[in-house]
């Protein structure tokens, strides 16, 4: 299906794409069909100049927005129709050219007493636990830092070109303070746990984008309505995090501001699992094997 044709003869200042009315009619028919289908969702790859040129396409897009939940890519062009779509009150707009400035701290300072050793380097499906978390958060945040007391974990981070702070602070609150000093950004700061290996990249990305949806909320990954980790803290909470006392953690701040906590549903229950003991690791390994076999 072709909805436009390039015109060589058009002036340099003109848009050289010319609408193909027959193709646009087919495209409009497909949009209208999405509005009649059984799915509550519809996805439109791109809405731009050519679609704006067709009255039928514009009407089909507007009707689709009324009938379905729509995931669409909309060009930044300053055209009345596109501007109207971006200004709708029922639209959540993610600006892909200007993502929120959100930082990330990977907390990897546990001593592994219950595990019986450095669990961060324990392998799950052939990769250290910490590496799973690093891969899930790769490329998502404007700034990322691992805070750890493990020399081995620090060496792994350096090998993977990930910023790391090796410290000897005795309390979790101290590690939080250290992370904030390097990774707190105007859009918020997310805290991930280095022993929570099955957090998915999609959930990490959704957490970062949640700061754009409601930048004043404390966002927590959750399963079945139960809040867990990771957690994204907004800038207003930084001072409270810096005042944490020995024995306190980010949960202290979240508990003191329950009215500002919002839950982000995880894609799968295992995302919220952490590894405290060798049995926990075995359980996750069995889970991954079962998924590969389709069990």
Q: Are 228 and 220 in contact (CB under 8 A)?
A: yes
β-pair partners for 265: 222
> Which DSSP symbol is given to 195?
T
Strands (DSSP E) contained in the chain are: 4-6, 17-19, 41-47, 69-74, 103-108, 123-124, 127-128, 143-148, 164-166, 189-193, 218-223, 226-233, 261-265
Q: What is the pLDDT of residue 193?
A: 95
| Tokens read off for 130 | 């910490």
pLDDT at 10: 58
Count of C-beta atoms within a 10 Å radius of residue 287: 17
Q: Which two tokens stand for residue 198?
A: 């099955």
Identify which of 262, 270, 86 has the alpha carbon closest to the alpha carbon of residue 188. 262
156-178 burial: b if 16+ Cβ within 10 Å, else e: bbeeeebebbbeeeeebbbbbbb
The predicted pLDDT at position 198 comes to 95
CA dist 182 to 105, 159, 279, Å? Answer: 9, 20, 34
Which is nearest to 219 in space by CA: 188, 245, 249? Answer: 188
Reduced to 3 states (helix: H, G, I; strand: E, B; else coil), residue 73 is strand
What fold does the segment set 103-289 form as a domain?
Answer: Spore Coat Polysaccharide Biosynthesis Protein SpsA; Chain A (3.90.550)
Strands 17-19 and 261-265, bridge-based pairing: unpaired
Nearest residue to 242 (alpha-carbon basis) of 185, 290, 174? 174
**Helices 201-213, 129-137: inter-axial angle, 10-degree rounding:** 40
Structure tokens at 63: 């009707």
Buried b (16+ CB within 10 A) or exposed e, 213-232: eebebbbbbbbeeebbbbbb
Give pLDDT < 70 ranges for the chain: 10-14, 99, 111-112, 293-295
CA 237 to chain centre: 20
What is each CA distance from 105 to 143, 173, 191, 215, 283, in whole angstroms?
A: 9, 13, 5, 18, 26
The pLDDT, as a whole number, for residue 295 is 54
Give domain limits for the chain: 4-87, 103-289
Structure tokens at 205: 């990305």
User: Dihedrals φ, ψ of 102, to 5°?
Assistant: -110, 135
């Amino acid at each position: 299906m072709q909805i436009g044709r390039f015109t060589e003869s058009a002036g340099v200042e003109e848009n050289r794409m010319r609408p193909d009315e027959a193709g646009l009619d087919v495209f409009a028919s497909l949009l209208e069909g999405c509005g009649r289908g059984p799915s509550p969702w519809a996805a439109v790859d791109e809405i731009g100049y050519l679609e704006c040129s067709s009255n039928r396409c514009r009407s089909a897009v507007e009707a689709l927005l009324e009938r379905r939940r729509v995931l669409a890519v909309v060009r930044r062009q300053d055209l009345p129709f596109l501007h109207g779509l971006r200004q709708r009150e029922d639209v959540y707009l993610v600006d892909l050219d200007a993502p929120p400035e959100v930082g990330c701290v990977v907390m990897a300072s546990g001593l592994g007493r219950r595990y019986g050793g450095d669990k961060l380097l324990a392998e799950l499906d052939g990769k250290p636990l910490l590496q799973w978390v690093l891969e899930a958060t790769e490329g998502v945040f404007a700034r990322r830092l691992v805070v750890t007391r493990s020399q081995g974990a620090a060496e792994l981070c350096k090998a993977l070109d990930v910023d790391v702070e090796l410290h000897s602070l005795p309390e979790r609150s101290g590690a939080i303070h250290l992370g904030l000093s390097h990774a707190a950004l105007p859009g918020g700061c997310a805290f991930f746990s280095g022993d929570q290996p099955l957090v998915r990249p999609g959930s990490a990305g959704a957490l970062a984008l949640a700061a754009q949806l409601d930048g004043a909320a404390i966002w927590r990954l959750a399963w079945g309505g139960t809040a867990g980790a990771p957690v994204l803290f907004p800038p207003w909470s930084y001072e409270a995090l810096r005042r944490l006392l020995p024995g306190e953690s980010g949960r202290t701040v979240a508990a003191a501001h329950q009215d500002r906590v919002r839950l982000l549903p995880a894609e799968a229950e295992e995302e919220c699992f952490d590894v405290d003991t060798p049995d926990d690791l075995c359980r996750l390994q069995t889970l991954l094997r079962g998924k590969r076999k389709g069990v």
